[in-house]
Amino acid sequence: MNAQEPGSKGALDHYDIEEIRRQFPAIDQKVHGKPLAYLDNAATTQKPRAVLRAMDDYYSRDNSNVHRGVHTLSMRATESFENGRRRTASFINASDPAEIVFVRGATEGINLVACSFARCCLHPGDEVLITAMEHHSNIVPWQMLCEEKQAKLRVAPMNRDGELLLDELERAITPRTKLISVVYVSNSLGTVNPVDRIVEIAHSRDIPVLVDGAQAVPHMKVDVRSLGCDFLVFSAHKMYGPMGVGVVYGKRELLEKMPPYQGGGDMIASVTFEKTVYNAVPYKFEAGTPNVAGVVGLAAAIDFLEGVGMDAIAAHERDLVEYATKELSSVPRLRLIGTARRKASVVSFSFEGIHPHDIGTILDREGIAVRTGHHCTQPVMDFFGVPATTRASFGLYNTREEIDALVAALGKVREVFA
């Protein structure tokens, strides 16, 4: 990669890792007397002071419900909430802030698309196509809907490196395929899928595409207009924002045609006992009191990410993944799970004869936080013939020194189980 390409080493020229780390109070602590190495970012990220301060300021000064109040606090809260929508639209290059729907997380976002968009499209014998590396949240909603509609869920395969077999995916598309739903970056393998090409293939057959961007948006530039996807979902808490806030991007012409996902306050224009007239998009999908403070925190997280620079973040994390892969490959009895050529932020592995939960417990005693288990991707574990893996996942504040600490601690794991 040359110095001008996204994710290149040239993007790191002004990357001040120490200053970045100072912005995250949670990582400046000791666990069991050891400096914390937080390597569980694929589960959730820590929060910078700017996010914590923005949420505290909202609750301290502007706390009020949005959209319907005429008093000052309500108007300030509404402005902050809608600013979060505008910032989110800009961050992913949506055409219109109205294409941004706030939900509780990426999981609810997929369920919204399944229940509102796909339910209207599916008929007996129709098909939904996903991939073999999907998170449970991009499997179970489609299973439920296919069972209800007597449709079929088809799965595009991957190879032993954890790479999607694009030719097989294309062959799996049939005249009955009504939707393709695909993960951008695998949460358990780190594989970066060619979603732009998948969208191109799908649209040549007039098939809409949902992209699960939960593990992509924090780590690289995601441009929905460039990708051309019809829907994108992601979660604030994986991008240094608060828990309980997620985003559904949908092309406006599709959102306009979709029925509401839930009923209640703020998704209506008028209500009588005889008939309800629904609100305009995106509000017809946002029933009830929203997580205003969460959206304020999301906007602050976006400001923080853009302040650091997405190209610089991608380059820094690419260096970490490459370094971790090299160092872990030299550890005796360790098997890397997922060795795709294009990877982001995740290194998963198994240890011969040692259960991942035991590994995680010993690493915790050394101050190292990793995730162990099936990572809500049980079909992936079955494919690789393991019950679970140990997963180290990186964020913008992690360092090579923390990877060195991980490798050293794995030496202690081997000693315990020698």
Per-residue pLDDT of 95-111, as tens digits, reads 999 999 999 999 999 99
Same domain, 205 and 125: yes
* pLDDT over 60 (residue 383): yes
* pLDDT over 60 (residue 166): yes
Residue 27 lies in a domain: yes
- Which of 279, 306, 333 marks a domain boundary? 306
Residue 168 lies in a domain: yes
Contact 235, 214 (CB under 8 A): yes
- Per the DSSP assignment, residues forming a β-bridge with 35 are 30
Share of the chain above pLDDT 70, in %: 97
Same domain, 167 and 29: no
* pLDDT over 60 (residue 5): no
Same domain, 28 and 86: no
Full-model pTM:
0.95
Instruction: Give the residue-averaged pLDDT of 200-216.
Output: 98
- Which of 253, 275, 306 marks a domain boundary? 306
Per-residue pLDDT of 263-320, as tens digits, reads 998 999 999 999 999 999 999 999 999 999 999 999 999 999 999 999 999 999 999 9
What rounded mean pLDDT belongs to the chain? 95
Same domain, 202 and 339: no
Per-residue pLDDT of 331-365, as tens digits, reads 999 999 999 999 999 999 999 999 999 999 999 99
Choice between 4 and 269, residue whose per-residue pLDDT is larger: 269
* pLDDT band of 1, cuts 50, 70, 90: very low
Using only C-alpha atoms, the chain has a radius of gyration, in whole angstroms, of 22
State the residue range of the domain holding 221. 52-306
Residue 1 lies in a domain: no
Give the per-residue pLDDT at 11. 63
Give the per-residue pLDDT at 278. 94
Give the per-residue pLDDT at 3. 31
Same domain, 13 and 73: no
Residue 290 lies in a domain: yes
* pLDDT band of 68, cuts 50, 70, 90: confident
Same domain, 217 and 81: yes
Give the per-residue pLDDT at 9. 55
Q: Residue 229 catalytic?
A: no
Task: Look up the CATH number of the domain holding residue 84.
Answer: 3.40.640.10
* pLDDT over 80 (residue 8): no
Per-residue pLDDT of 130-165, as tens digits, reads 999 999 999 999 999 999 999 999 999 999 999 999
Same domain, 301 and 252: yes
Residue 75 lies in a domain: yes
Same domain, 181 and 229: yes
* pLDDT over 90 (residue 255): yes
Same domain, 25 and 81: no
Give the per-residue pLDDT at 2. 31
From the list 115, 120, 121, 376, the catalytic residue is: 376
- Say how many domains are in the chain: 2
Same domain, 401 and 323: yes
Same domain, 298 and 346: no
Q: How many CA atoms lie within 13 Å of 149's alpha carbon, on the beta-carbon side?
A: 23
* pLDDT over 80 (residue 179): yes
* pLDDT over 50 (residue 4): no
* pLDDT over 80 (residue 80): yes
Same domain, 255 and 114: yes
- Which of 240, 271, 306 marks a domain boundary? 306
Task: Look up the CATH number of the domain holding residue 389.
Answer: 3.90.1150.10
Question: Residue by residue, what is the 3-state secondary structure of the chain?
Answer: CCCCCCCCHHHHCCCCHHHHHHCCHHHCCEECCEECEECECCCCCCCCHHHHHHHHHHHHHHCCCCCCCCCHHHHHHHHHHHHHHHHHHHHCCCCCHHHEEEECCHHHHHHHHHHHHHHHHCCCCCEEEEECCCCHHHCHHHHHHHHHHCCEEEEECECCCCCECHHHHHHHCCCCEEEEEEECECCCCCEECCHHHHHHHHHCCCCCEEEECCCCCCCCCCCHHHHCCCEEEEEHHHCCCCCCCEEEEECHHHHHHCCCCCCCCCCEEEECCCCEEECCCCHHHCCCCCCHHHHHHHHHHHHHHHHHCHHHHHHHHHHHHHHHHHHHHCCCCEEEECCCCCECCEEEEEECCECHHHHHHHHHHCCEECEEECCCCHHHHHHHCCCCEEEEECCCCCCHHHHHHHHHHHHHHHHHCC
